[in-house]
Amino acid sequence: MPRDSSTPLRVARNDISAVLLAGGESRRMGKDKATLLVRGTSLWQIQLDLLRKLEPTEILVSARIDPVWRPADVQFVADDPPSRGPLSGLAASLAHTRTNHLLALAIDMPFMNEKYLASLCSQAELGRGVIAKIEDRFEPLAAVYPREVVANVQSALLGTDFSLQTLASRLVAAGKLQVMPVMSQERKLFLSVNEQADLAAL
């Protein structure tokens, strides 16, 4: 039976790559956030273990320089200088990936879980990704991007506005990202560790 043209074509599990965005300078923390221990385990280990559970085709780590903690089975993707924060990491990773979709995850979201990321991936369609939104704010550091947006991201790097909020808004308006509203009980998944006080609160 032919597929109903009104039914979106979902992305296969083996057509998604994943990138751990670890390019921040950790100025507020005062040390490399990736090596901070949360419940006895370093942030980088927590996040890579989470991505591995999703079984993506490939796992990348995006950073300014190749981190000493990077496992051998994880590929390093360097931010193109001058670095513009997560925007640079996203651009480099999209240009590097071998699949049609890229799951991006920030290194400093230790409460994110497999179930939620899997739900994001399951909603991705050919040519369109998925981004979470809490009230009027997008969550671009736990989102699925289609490879087709690489030109949009690179264009943003050439401009003066490097905000991922601006980029996300434009991609949603262009139909390249669909919005997944975050339920109240899911908001804790997006909590990030930016300062020593955040770590103490954990």
One pLDDT digit (tens) per residue for the chain, 202 residues: 444 445 556 666 668 999 999 975 544 444 678 998 888 899 999 999 999 999 999 999 999 999 999 999 999 999 877 788 899 999 999 999 999 999 999 999 999 999 999 999 999 999 999 999 999 999 999 999 999 999 999 999 999 999 999 999 999 999 999 999 999 999 999 998 876 666 665 5
The model's pTM:
0.89
Residues 113, 119: contact at Cβ < 8 Å?
A: no
Calculate the alpha carbon distances from 1 to 4, 9, 45, 158, 179 in Å: 9, 15, 45, 47, 31
Up-side HSE of residue 117: CA atoms within 13 Å toward CB? Answer: 32
Distance from CA of residue 3 to its chain's centroid?
31
Domains, the chain, ordered by start: 13-201 (3.90.550.10)
- Rounded CA gap, 105 and 21, in Å? 6
